[in-house]
Chains A and B, each alone.
Chain A
Amino acid sequence: MNIYKQELKQYRNTLIGWCIAYICILALYLSFLPAFLDEGGGMRDYFASLPPEFMAAFGLDISLFFGPLGFITFVMTMFVLLVGIQAVHMGLSIYGKEQRNRTSDFLLSKPVKRAKIFWSKFLAGLTALFISEVVIYSAGYFIIKMVSDAAFPMNTYLLLLATCTFVQLVFFALGTLLSVLLKRIKNIVGLATGVGMGFFVIRMIANISNATTLRWINPYQFFDNMYVVAYNRYESASILVSLGVFVVLEAVSLWIYQHMDIHAV
């Protein structure tokens, strides 16, 4: 419990920063919702006039796009990049931060098993991500209510936003694995941004080229938001693949962490 508490303390400022950024970005994006709904006809014509590749790049279907949930889906196509980067950052921090700050010797020479250190850090990371999710869900809901009186089904809204949770779990596990695989991570933020952006660009390319085979190697594409809006549920493969990748990557990371040499500084 002491490591868990200490980790959360270490994350506090970063977490506050992320939450403020999420609220500001959601407020900025969602402030366009009334205009989007009021000028639905004009918008529809405008988006219909764009090359089909533009909508495809973000995985959007024009027939489902107009309406509050369609707009939220559009916002989420970009917003998910941020949650991805945050999750990789949190995962990288599991071991990378100790390694970068050279504090591994201090912690690992204490009477505590490596597995316990790993799980404490893992839980602290998940807690931080959970707090972010609560902020995102709540801020999104209240901002929409503030800027528009448009009605939308709450369960679909929650299902849509919960895709962020799955994306975060997978990227968190990916960050954890990188943190135990890479020998020296000098810039955790830079690496997290690179990984998050990299997969985002791959998703855009895959969508434009309609390369459906790439879908299951990219966490951003495990969930099809347009499918969620249309059917008000997830594809079961999306849940299975996300949770499967999460469990496998975390298990591999734990094994490596328990067997790795902690080199002298």
Chain B
Amino acid sequence: MTNVIELNGLTKFYGKVKGIEDVSFEVEEKEVFGFIGPNGAGKSTTIRTLLSLIFPTKGSATIFGKDCIKHASEIAMDVGYLPSEVFYYDGMKVKDLLNYSASFFKKDCKQKIEELSSLLDLPLNRKIEDLSFGNKKKVGIVQGLLHSPKLIILDEPSAGLDPLIQQTFFNILKQENERGATIFFSSHILSEVQRMCDRVAILKEGHLIALQKISELRKDSYKKVTVSGTLKEELDLENVTNRQSADEHTTFLYKGDVRKLLSTLAKQHIDDILIEEPSLEEIFLHYYQ
């Protein structure tokens, strides 16, 4: 497999403040690659360096085998980018913005604009300043994909999209991937990444702390369990950590078969139960301490 993205010891400091340090990994062609970490971990710094919006302090990165700083404009011809927050020119209509965006690429993007706008139910004749946050985000999706890029870079893409549109958006991404596009998917929502990606890189405080296949991550995945009621001190369960009790509420992290968890808890005097995904911070604490 050819590598579409290669990072070699990529480092970025903002003055004395660390953005990322010595980050190295590769993303293969046609892969859906997850890039996760809590806010401030350095995800956006990495992406902005890949896009040549900021310059690395040390190290290098290549996209399609070309240095991402020296050949930024060439590379951008085949890259679609959706930032976490989208800002466009007020006073412009959606269709004008999309046509302006398309004018940078040497191809006819009309059909793709129509197709994507219709799928996302995007009002093309409205002025951008009159759009809701969600609709602005849809404009971002269309302008990022209208030239059928070979590499799609997404930075927290689902923020601001309602669940139905999120579903449509993920379907569009799947189609783009089937067409041959490589997807670099940055997020702090683990479930989103688990659902979409083949492999995942985990970033913490500017350092790459893990590079795993999603299947491995799933196998290792923890659940955060909150129980109301009375629990025995010693539960007949393995892999229970971080147990904390206050009043009638107990929380703990559990790794293992959910059916075994439920059958064990069913024997206890419990009033309510909440099983949820732990936050990334909680995962980091237990995986990588």
Are A and B part of the same complex? yes
Interface residues of A (CB under 8 A from B): 2, 6, 10, 101-106, 108-113, 259, 261-265
Interface string of B73-111 (1 = CB under 8 A from A): 111110101010111111100000000110111000000
Are B54 and A263 in contact, with the CB atoms below 8 A?
yes
Q: With an 8 A cutoff between CB atoms, is B53 at the interface? A: yes
Residue of B48, B86, B100, B104 touching A111 (CB-CB under 8 A): B104
Are A261 and B53 in contact, with the CB atoms below 8 A?
yes
Are B73 and A262 in contact, with the CB atoms below 8 A?
no
User: In the complex, what residues of A have CB within 8 A of residue B143's CB?
Assistant: 106
- How far is B100's CA from A146's CA once the two chains are assembled, in angstroms? 45
Q: With an 8 A cutoff between CB atoms, is B44 at the interface? A: yes
- How far is B128's CA from A102's CA once the two chains are assembled, in angstroms? 14
- How far is B79's CA from A112's CA once the two chains are assembled, in angstroms? 12
Question: With A106-B88, A262-B48, A265-B87 in contact, do A112 and B73 touch (Cβ < 8 Å)?
Answer: yes
Are A110 and B44 in contact, with the CB atoms below 8 A?
no
User: In the complex, what residues of A have CB within 8 A of residue B52's CB?
Assistant: 108
Are B87 and A106 in contact, with the CB atoms below 8 A?
yes
Are A109 and B81 in contact, with the CB atoms below 8 A?
yes
Main secondary structure of the interface of A (DSSP, over half): loop
Are B89 and A111 in contact, with the CB atoms below 8 A?
no
Q: Which of A106, A109, A265 has the most chain B CB atoms inside 10 A of its CB?
A: A109
- How far is B54's CA from A230's CA once the two chains are assembled, in angstroms? 54
Q: Which of B77, B87, B88, B101 has the most chain A CB atoms inside 10 A of its CB?
A: B87
User: In the complex, what residues of B have CB within 8 A of residue A109's CB?
Assistant: 51, 53, 76, 79, 81
User: In the complex, what residues of A have CB within 8 A of residue B100's CB?
Assistant: 2, 6
User: In the complex, what residues of B have CB within 8 A of residue A113's CB?
Assistant: 72-73
Question: With A6-B100, A264-B44, A264-B48 in contact, do A111 and B77 touch (Cβ < 8 Å)?
Answer: yes
- How far is B107's CA from A111's CA once the two chains are assembled, in angstroms? 13
- How far is B73's CA from A264's CA once the two chains are assembled, in angstroms? 19
Within 8 A of A (CB), among B130-186: 143
User: In the complex, what residues of B have CB within 8 A of residue A111's CB?
Assistant: 73-77, 104-105
Q: With an 8 A cutoff between CB atoms, is B55 at the interface? A: yes
- How far is B84's CA from A264's CA once the two chains are assembled, in angstroms? 10
Are B73 and A103 in contact, with the CB atoms below 8 A?
no
Are B53 and A10 in contact, with the CB atoms below 8 A?
no
Are B85 and A265 in contact, with the CB atoms below 8 A?
yes
Chain A nearest Cβ from B90, distance in angstroms: 7
Chain A nearest Cβ from B56, distance in angstroms: 10
- How far is B73's CA from A112's CA once the two chains are assembled, in angstroms? 5
User: In the complex, what residues of A have CB within 8 A of residue B44's CB?
Assistant: 264
User: In the complex, what residues of B have CB within 8 A of residue A261's CB?
Assistant: 14, 53-55
